[in-house]
Amino acid sequence: MKILRTPPLIFLPLIALALGWHLGASYQMKHLTGEQQRIVELFSISSGSGQTVKTDPEKEVDITLFWSVWRLLSKHYIEPEKLETKSMVFGAVSGMVSAIGDPYTLFMTPQDTKIFESALSGTLEGIGAQLDLKDRQVLVVAPIKGSPAEKAGLQPKDLIVSVDGKSVEGMALENVVSMIRGPKGTFVTLEVKRASTVAMITITVVRDAIHIPSVESKVIATATGSIGYVALNQFGDDSVAELKKAISSFPKEGLKGVVLDLRFNGGGYLEGAVDLVSMFLEVGDVVTVEHRENEPEIHRVTGSSILPDMPLVVLINGGSASASEIAAGALQDHKRAKIIGTQSFGKGTVQEIIELPGGSSLRVTVAHWLTPAGQDLGKKGVTPDIVVDRTVEQYQSGYDPQLLAAEVWLTEHEDVSGGKKTATGSVK
């Protein structure tokens, strides 16, 4: 099996976001989690019993109804010029896929696929927000730091109701994305429903070029020593290397602990999550990938820890998803870090893309994420050890009670492994 790397995905950023095939051929699949690319033989379909059997859906499924409706439309519909064959086929396939009821499994037309691939390519122009589809509603996962969406006041867990006055109810996520994205300097008006308010909120955003810094760091001085702060905004190609470089720049003496900020980090490479946990943990599992069949795939730390004993706090919120939740969940389960903030997003499934004829593609859920303790991240995400909220007003003013809580914990409490804190870490 040929293994290839694929670019990271942070859900669907609202930014300036072929293999041919035939039945019985090899399909190219791309992990949306950024874990890897794989060439997978799909000439067989698994039965409900868990055994893999060769089957022919054309012999098992009677699609007479489909052709009957097609012919009736062709014969009776008042505007026959609107019966465009390609659109009808795309609509039929999309309906079949959406009937499964999984918001992460969907058919993408050639146009949808191009939008998706342009997002992965790094051509970033738009409002800079991460979206997801949850309970068939378009949900804001997080605005990207410093983006037009953040500056305009868009928040995690906002539900997008309409775009430029047009309702998005029942629309596919990719269609909503294409409505919101656009060239730099143009405007888009969003009507959102926010849990903390009764009335709808109207937000107008000026689109712009989007830059996502992977890592931001600083040293926070306290009365008893210093605290290293590092924010990881995404799991990309060089994120872990940048993270290691930032941590290495922290002072060697008098360091009370490290704050790892994963707020608004929508995820990316699985390998990045494994490498991140490996920096702070010497041994142990990081995550289990549970597939439809075959044995679960367990990912363990790499044995390359650089701060295995340093007191550690991880900050999360509703914009922390996917690889961020893997890292936070693993560090929490191993009692290696204190998790502070609010409930994470809850993105616990793995998707792959299968490229189809003519530029269309199928995105399909193929696995679940499980933390070392067996918790399904897709059901509720990661629950903080210490819940600290941050209001919109606090965010806009720059006041950060979650970071302050992390500073207090590091300066006033013993580290998570139960040892006494010293200037350079912990002593068992």
Question: Residue 396's pLDDT is what?
Answer: 72
Residue found by looking up tokens 């405007």 in the block: 187
Question: What pLDDT score does 323 carry?
Answer: 92
CB 333 within 8 A of CB 372: yes
Is residue 2 annotated as part of the catalytic site, yes or no?
Answer: no
Classify domain 215-348+368-417 at the CATH topology level: 2-enoyl-CoA Hydratase; Chain A, domain 1 (3.90.226)
* pLDDT computed for residue 120 by the predictor: 54
Q: At which residue do the structure tokens 């490290």 appear? A: 258
Active site residue 333: yes
Task: Measure CA 302 to chain center.
Answer: 23
Active-site position among 217, 322, 324, 344: 322
Ranges of the chain whose pLDDT falls below 70: 1-55, 118-124, 414-428
Measured between alpha carbons, how far is 392 from 140 in angstroms, rounded to an integer?
A: 15
Q: Is 284 helix (H, G, I), strand (E, B) or coil?
A: coil
Residue from 30, 145, 244, 347 carrying the catalytic annotation: 347
Place of tokens 């949850």: 134
**DSSP E strand stretches across 52-135:** 52-53, 106-108, 125-126, 129-134
Catalytic annotation present for 30: no
Query: Which pLDDT belongs to residue 16?
Result: 25
Q: Which of 132, 275, 309, 333 is catalytic?
A: 333
Name the residue type at position 339. Answer: I
